Structure 1
């Protein structure tokens, strides 16, 4: 019998975070951890093959990446807006940015 490992699976929503702890056999993949968590059934909008990416401790991984004991598998939601496009739009509008975000005019 193979050893069992414990893995956390996390899905962050705008208002809260779902954290599920699962026990898996050694050598399990990130996809298997997500499937075992039950989050795919609870949140049908999660699409691992198309929209959502996976990570382990904030580092992107493929769904077939092997997880280790006490890893934290994170399900990332797609971005609403492209950060590069937002910065370009602000630059085109001539807004001056202050350090930390927001426009510099707001401080005055």
Structure 2
């Protein structure tokens, strides 16, 4: 359904949000050209229960935080971010203490600095 072509004068936008941990929802919206992020959020009936909390949520387009007045383009992805419940560093410390061993990141080589 997300690949359908928009009608003339309309844009197709994806809205993704997570009302609770582990619950990710998304919806495709058919909006008029020149629509803002705020208008897109208000146009989604499935997102209506989240609108009262909008002041405490961050909103972004393709991973970049944007104001509600940001203009949308065809095939944009609106993302609504909940506030963090635990500091990421503290969560890592808690996992370390629970496992009793170092948690290896997949982003760094295990041997430390590479030699040339």
1:6 maps to 12
Deviations 1:54-91 (A, max 9, x none): 0111111111101100111011111102335x28x77x
Alignment partners' CA distance in 1, 2:103 and 2:17: 32
Alignment partners' CA distance in 1, 2:37 and 2:102: 39
1:54 paired with 2:59, answer yes
CA apart distance, 1:96: 8.1
Paired residue total: 94
Alignment partners' CA distance in 2, 1:5 and 1:80: 34
CA apart distance, 1:99: 2.8
Gaps of 5+ in 2: 1-7, 95-99, 107-116
Gaps of 5+ in 1: 102-108
Alignment partners' CA distance in 1, 2:54 and 2:77: 16
Q: What TM-score results when the alignment is normalised by the length of structure 2?
A: 0.65
Query: Quick one: which of 65, 76, 84 aligns to 1:79?
Result: 84
Query: Quick one: which of 68, 77, 97 aligns to 2:73?
Result: 68
Alignment partners' CA distance in 2, 1:40 and 1:7: 14
Alignment partners' CA distance in 2, 1:22 and 1:98: 40
